[in-house]
Amino acid sequence: MLHDYPNSILTPRGRPAGASVDSWTESDHALMRTAAGLAWSGAGRTGTNPIVGSVVSRDGRIIATGFHGEKGIAHAEVVALDAAGEAARGATLYASLEPCAHHGRTPPCTDRIIAAGVARVVIPALDPDERVNGRGVALLRAAGIQVDIGCEAGSAILDNLGYYHDRLGLPSLVTIKMALSGDGMVARAPGRRDTVTGEAARTQVHALRALHDAVLVGIETLLADAPRLDCRLLNPAPDRIPVPVVLDSHLRTPAENAWSRAGRPFIVVTVPGPAADRVRAIEARGGRVFTCTPSTHGPDVGAAVAALAAAGLRRILVEGGPRVVASLVATGCWDAAWYYRAPVVFGPGGVPATPAAAPGDVVDRVRVGDDERVRSIGARPLAEIAARVRMAAGNGGPECLPD
């Protein structure tokens, strides 16, 4: 089932008349999706800031666009308004997150929006940063600007889910990513390395990696694919790349691998009792070995996530095989899932994905090149985000969130 989260998640009370979920037009949805798409142009270069895109529009026609390109420079709304110039007066501004209302590395976006004479602002959700969290909305409304909240909310929250987790003090973010054939397979045969999705989907996954601190795979994926787990398809390159992590009960990870040859640090998560000589060999090539509680099929995934978070790797992207994904889903140790389904058939000899469909509540389905992307979010992280934003807004924000 496809879900939308327009009012129940991050929408404050006091919306103006005509701004209910039923009032969103196809143009609103299309322009917000455009803004959200632009945001990904800054993936991996905004530091601790969110990725944000913005569109200035009049009568459904795009006047100007912008995105937050890197930390310390103008935010998306300011870039779009500067490009629009006087044409912004009386127009509608779409931003994929609530405009900031505080001085940081740059002045408040709310000041620039008010000065531009924008008539209406549309955002999907509140910014969970305690310095914003409804203040941007309140300032714009106090200046006489109509602010409508909730358009494409679920998708926008997913785009910046790591940012929400960071700002709300949630311990870690676990994102599952899987690529599977039209008949639900991840490979044509066990132990084979197969390219499943097209270039557009692969490039998007590299952008997703750039928003995470670590990329985790299982030992079977490492031995079969020798994945690089980098962001090489992004241009310009991100300011950092995630740390590769492998779950490996018997410490079969080669000390000499694609990561050590590239001079990249990597982590091997194993169970108690690894051979000391294997540990020393991995550490000599720039790796670290974490020892975690064992489970039925290797290191306990919950313990592994906790160990990585304690090491400062709080945003974890899982690109492991079916066994790793099944462990995460079975234990509930996941927050979001990105599934890419390609229009190819691998046949009965293939390796089936587990689960074959994205778990949780499906938030959106879109075409990415020739492939279909299905994204979902777990009920637990969604409830935690809603509760914490609601609490913060109630304790210090200008507006409360509905129950």
Q: Which residue do the tokens 């509140």 mark?
A: 126
Say how many C-beta atoms besides its own lie within 10 A of residue 319's C-beta: 24
Active site residue 77: yes
Q: Decide if 287 contacts 268 (C-beta within 8 A).
A: yes
Residue pair 6/21 in contact by the 8 Å Cβ criterion:
yes
Q: Using alpha carbons only, what angle is made at residue 63 by residues 58 and 66, rounded to the nearest 5 degrees?
A: 120
d(CA 222, CA 245): 10
Q: Are 11 and 149 in contact (CB under 8 A)?
A: yes
Pairing of strands 351-352, 361-368: unpaired
242: DSSP letter:
P
Render 305-348 in DSSP notation, one character per residue: HHHHHHTT--EEEE---HHHHHHHHHHT--SEEEEEE-S----T
Using CA atoms, how far residue 353 sits from 202, 365, 402, in Å, is: 18, 19, 39
Q: Which of 70, 77, 199, 256 is catalytic?
A: 77
Distance, CA of 180 to CA of 357 (rounded, Å): 10
Dist. CA 20–CA 134, nearest whole Å: 18
Gyration radius of the chain's alpha carbons: 22
Nearest Cα neighbor of 30 from 5, 55, 67 is 55
Query: Which positions are annotated as active-site residues?
Result: 77
